[in-house]
Amino acid sequence: MTSCELCGSIKPPLVFAEVEGSRLTVCRACSAYGKVLPFQQRFQPNSKTSGSKNNLGNQQALPLKKEPVTYEAVVQEYAQRIREAREKLKLTQQEFAKHITEKESMVSHWESGSIEPSLDTAKKIQHTLHIQLVEMRTEEPVIRSQKKSSAGLTIGDILAQKMK
């Protein structure tokens, strides 16, 4: 627990000040005895413990804006689509496997749904069979908790939350 090194007060905001040559963490009242120093000289950049008065220099600590992530993925019903397309072309699993230079056992695995083809393989298959096996999916950024990370909170914020 951080407390004022002069009077022992834990009342925020505590500031970092140079008092008669020594660098101390002091309360607002005691900081009047010395020269208030920027917090960065003493504290980790992540542990923002100052009150509102020192926040002006910390504008770069804004949270990153989360964007939805779009990615390619093999469709869920790949097994059915591969089998139907292959049978439509009247290819055996063996013939189809040869076409795409894969093992026959692999084709069997895909069509039973036990092994999903890799993205690259799925693209090769969809090109050969003229079916769609790869789709674009969008993943919304997951907000795991409504709480801001503690790095973005001031002691004042934390106290305000506890009061509720």
* Complex with Zn ion: residue 4 or 79, whichever CB lies closer: 4
The tokens of 34 are what?
């010395």
Q: Are 31 and 15 in contact (CB under 8 A)?
A: yes
Q: Binding of Zn ion at residue 30 (CB under 5 A)?
A: yes
Under rule CB under 5 A, residue 24 binds Zn ion: no
Q: Kindly tell me which of 50 and 93 has the beta carbon lying closer to Zn ion.
A: 50
Binding mask 121-150 for Zn ion (x = CB under 5 A): ------------------------------
Using CB under 5 A as the binding rule, whether residue 9 contacts Zn ion is answered as yes
**Is 15 near Zn ion (CB under 5 A)?**
no
Q: CA-CA distance, 155 to 4, in Å (whole number)?
A: 14
- Cα–Cα dist 56/118, whole Å: 50
CA nearest neighbour of 64 among 152, 157, 156: 152
Residue 58 interacting with Zn ion (CB under 5 A): no
Beta strands 69-74 and 134-139: pairing type?
Answer: antiparallel
- Minimum CB distance to Zn ion smaller for 10 or for 61: 10
Q: Contact between 17 and Zn ion (CB under 5 A)?
A: no
Q: Which stretch binds Zn ion (CB under 5 A): 8-16, 42-50, 90-98, 133-141?
A: 8-16
CA distances from 29 to 1, 3, 12, 17, 35 (A): 19, 13, 10, 11, 12
Cβ proximity to Zn ion, 7 vs 160, nearer residue = 7
Residues 72 and 119: beta-carbon distance below 8 Å: yes
Per rule CB under 5 A, count of chain residues that contact Zn ion? 6
**Residues forming the site for Zn ion (CB under 5 A):** 4, 6-7, 9, 27, 30
